[in-house]
Structures are given as C-alpha cells and as structure tokens.
Amino acid sequence: MPTTPPTRIARFTLTERVLHWEVVVAFAVMLATGLILYFPSLSGLMSRPAAKGVHLWAAIALGVGFTLVAVLGNRRAVLRSAREVQYLDADDMAWLKAGPAAQMGRVSPAPQGRFNAGQKLNTAMLSGGMVLMYVTGFLLWYGERHTEWRFEGSVPVHDLFTLFLVLLVTGHVYLAVIHPHTRAAMRGMVTGEVDREFAEHHHATWVAQHDAEEARR
C-alpha cells in the first residue's frame, strides 16, 4: 500500500539546536554588556566592573558549554552539519547567480542541499567574526595583566567586529523571524522539524537525499 510521506522532515538534532541557542544567549549577554562598557550613557544600567565580569563569564560559559555539548552530544550530527555547511558546490553557484527573488525564496531557487550558499557564507562570516572576538577579547583581558600583550589594534578590531556581527545577525534574525518566505525555518531550530513543503521549495536536493536515506533504513 503506498504511504504518504510525513508532512514534516527532521532538520536539526537536539545537540545542534542546543549549540545554536547557547550561542544566541551568550551573544546577547556579551553584546548587552559590551554596549554598557562602550557607551558611557548606559553606565547607569550596571557598574563597569559588573558589566566586565558578566561579559567575561559569558565568554567563558559559551566556550565551555559549546565544547561540552559538541563533544558529549550527538557528535556525528555536528560533524555532518559542519561538513555540509563548509564547501560551496555547483548548486551554490547556481543559487548565487539566481538573483534576489530566488535567494529570498519568492520564486523557486536552483535545487539546494541542506544549506544554501547564503547560509554557508553566513556561517563562515559569523564563525570567523566570533573567533576574532575571542582572539581580540583575550588580548584585551591578558594585556591588562601583561603589558607586552597590549596592542593598539585590539580595541578597534573588537569594536569593528561587534558592528559587523550585529549587522549580520540582524539580517539573520530578519530572515528567521520576519521574512514571510523564510520564517518557516524557525520551526526547525525550535522543534527540530520543518514543513516538508518548505523544505522541498528551499532545499529540494536535501529532501531527495533525506528520503533516499530513510528508504534504505
């Protein structure tokens, strides 16, 4: 008897979702406390030493929490996602050439794998930006204790990449929460599953691969 495929399709494991929301919470805390340190007008919200303490502890908590969940959770899923998001292939070139209407999901884009080129570039820029925040943040902290590690560029680079990340994350959140053609992705980051129709429209190659894997099981 032919069976109708389920209306939802699994997209993110619990491990991947916990990792993502850990980053979101820590990012929000580091941004808020960073802004308190930057703008004297916000200093009434929290004392400078307290803001600095929370800023640094959020950075440590994310480093430790991220490593623990990535290592002790579903490592295979994390490594698979990391592989899938890393390289640009022919589908991604077609996506990049397709123009804004296709990229924003208004018309059918070229068939895509699990992540499209926009998501791959977004991941590269967000991860690279976060690494730079950690490197410059560490230098700021360590430079206070060892003056030979105090560099003129650490503060401007830390500030510039704050702006870069804020702009990038604003676009990312707009697509995840507001844009009518892409906001269905939010279900995947909350419950782990997305609507099959949405997945077929945006990630047709991935859905075909997913179904073939399920059929082999």
Binding of ligand HEM at residue 66 (CB under 6 A)?
no
Burial of 201 (0-12, 13-18, 19+ CB in 10 A): middle
Binding of ligand HEM at residue 117 (CB under 6 A)?
no
Give 108's DSSP letter.
Answer: P
Binding of ligand HEM at residue 24 (CB under 6 A)?
yes
Name 109's bridge partners.
none
Q: Which of 20, 75, 76, 97 binds ligand HEM (CB under 6 A)?
A: 20
| Exposure string for 179-189, b = 16+ CB within 10 A, e = fewer | eebbebbeebb
Give the number of residues in contact with ligand HEM, rule: CB under 6 A. Answer: 41
Nearer residue to ligand HEM within complex by CB, 3 or 140: 140
Q: Minimal distance in Å, beta carbon 46 to ligand HEM?
A: 13
Q: Which of 54, 61, 155, 160 binds ligand HEM (CB under 6 A)?
A: 155
Nearer residue to ligand HEM within complex by CB, 88 or 173: 173
Coil, helix or strand for 10? strand
Binding of ligand HEM at residue 164 (CB under 6 A)?
no
Half-sphere exposure of 36 (CA within 13 A, CB side): 19
Binding of ligand HEM at residue 105 (CB under 6 A)?
no
Residue 73, token pair as written in the block = 């959770």
Nearer residue to ligand HEM within complex by CB, 134 or 151: 134
Query: In terms of DSSP H, where are the helices of 39-153?
Result: 48-72, 75-86, 90-97, 100-103, 117-145
Question: How many Cβ atoms sit within 10 Å of the Cβ of residue 54?
Answer: 16
Binding of ligand HEM at residue 204 (CB under 6 A)?
no
List CB contacts of 89: < 8 A, sequence separation 6 or more: 113
Nearer residue to ligand HEM within complex by CB, 4 or 87: 87
**Cα-trace Rg, the chain:** 20
Binding of ligand HEM at residue 113 (CB under 6 A)?
no
Nearer residue to ligand HEM within complex by CB, 101 or 173: 173
Q: Which residues bind ligand HEM (CB under 6 A)?
A: 11, 20, 23-24, 27, 30-31, 34-35, 37-38, 52, 55-56, 59, 115, 119, 122-123, 126, 130, 133-134, 137-138, 140-141, 155, 158-159, 162, 165, 169, 172-173, 176-177, 185-186, 188-189
